[in-house]
Amino acid sequence: MLIDAATLVTLEQPAHEPEREVFQRQRRFAPRLRQTSASERLAKLDKLKKVLEARRGDIQKAAAADFGKPTAEVELSEIFPVLHEINHARRQLKRWMKPVTVRPTLAMLGTQAQVHYEPKGVCLIISPWNYPFNLSFGPLVSAIAAGNTAIIKPSEMTPHCSRLIGAMIAEIYPPEEVAVFEGKADVAERLLALPFDHVFFTGSPAVGRIVMGAAARHLASVTLELGGKSPTLVDETADLDRAARNIVWGKFTNNGQTCIAPDHVYVHASVCDRFVDKVRQYIAQMYGDTPEAQRNNPDYCRIVNDRHFQRLTALLDDAVGHGARVVTGGMTEATTRFIAPTVLVDVPHQAQIMQEEIFGPLLPVLSYTDLEQMLADINARPKPLALYVFSKNKARIAQVETRVSAGGSCVNQCVVHFLHGNLPFGGVNNSGIGSAHGLYGFKAFSHERAVLVDRFSITHMLFPPYTKLVKKLIALTSRYFA
């Protein structure tokens, strides 16, 4: 359904098709936005910044209501990234919008050429449940900075957050600029049936294929931020304290429900036992040293719904059934959807937990001795969204990064590359298409238009009729100016 329909739009067609009416309004309005200056676009972003700051408490309450997300995590992972994105755009947008002059090639001597960045038009943003504000408003910042209209479809799995997203947008933007639609899959299907100019989707590879297929019917461009099993390597030279601390934080933040969380860890056999001990220590330090302490810890999130809780407990049971050992954690409580931070060792490759993205607080630790075999195991799977390497050996770091394709990487850290405004964030193949954040997000929502001005070129000398002289000039051009 349409968020706050009375505020957003007076429907002029049957109530079951408000999406089409708002889309048509945005399509009619989009040409006006093409002409907006950097200062006008930044004024629109300032409105979003003000409502984010004013609604900080409401955002924290909504995230807590939907899946028990602690206040500090909301601030760090939901509010800060969007404010950072807005402030980064404030500093850089005028430069991003300027035409880029390119040097002529030999064949184009006498011409002047530029790349102009123009808005794609009417854009659809389909955001996920795990970081509902960050992954709705972050792409919106890029869409507005590039001069587009946008419709946001937040996830129905976090209803308090989705409702608040709709209310916040209704406060600051008319529906012909930005609108929000809540609802289940049928709403997304109706939206995807419309001929958007660009679709930005964050979610699973399986749904990403559906989104891409729907966009292809209209030849719409897409940005797909997907996921996968992001592997982590800890070799025998690594600082084990640093590795364990950073991996525990990256894995168990948001209860593991993070697309770039370390999915599983390969640890050199010579340091594996010590690494596992360090992981146990940091879990106890961050979340409590007993299941009871972890369950009562206000800094530990919950699984989003019963379906995902049951999926994760089934993965845990299957792994144990295949011979994996739980070295810490393992406790679950269905009524509160609590799963303790859990570390598994001796996990066989045929276990289901090694076949699908975990997306929860279960961490398989795999011992290795043969680096080549370990790299072959990683490369046998679809390309991941992230790859993390903990090592002091520069040659080995370079070897792993060269041999394994991934959307992004961190060395001796994990997850935080998402927060770097000057880095592209995105996947590759199964883990995504295109990039987001900063300049890369601006480009994702822009068409790079080639503009050539003829000043004193001699290309007219190659036009028909193809006399002997013209043919000779064409041959010389092909030989010396190609």
Q: Is 225 a catalytic residue?
A: yes
DSSP notation for 378-391 = HHTSPPPSEEEEE-
DSSP 77: I
Ranges of H-type helices in 68-158: 71-74, 80-97, 134-145
Non-local (6+) Cβ contacts of 416 within 8 A are: 410
Catalytic, out of 21, 177, 225, 357: 225
Rg of the chain over all Cα atoms, to the nearest angstrom: 26
Whether the CB-CB separation of 268 and 300 falls below 8 Å is answered with no
Q: Which residues contact 190 (CB under 8 A, 6 or more apart)?
A: 17, 19, 20
* Calpha distance 110→460 (Å, rounded): 12
Active-site entry in 19, 85, 123, 259: 259
Question: Residue 331 in 3-state DSSP?
Answer: coil
Peptide bond between residue 154 and the one before it cis (omega within 30 degrees of 0): no
**Residues 6 or more apart whose Cβ sits within 8 Å of residue 34:** 118, 119, 147
- Given a contact cutoff of 8 angstroms between Cβ atoms, the answer to whether 235 and 390 are in contact is yes
Q: For the beta carbon of residue 378, count every other beta carbon within 10 angstroms.
A: 20
Instruction: Let me know if 123 is a catalytic residue.
Output: no
Which residue type occupies 359? F
Across 149-235, the runs of DSSP E, i.e. the strands, are 149-153, 178-180, 198-202, 221-225, 231-234
Q: What is the DSSP string of 1-26?
A: -BTTHHHH----S-TT-HHHHHHHHH
Distance (Å, rounded) from C-alpha 120 to C-alpha 184?
27
CB atoms within 10 A of CB 469: 9
Active site residues: 225, 259
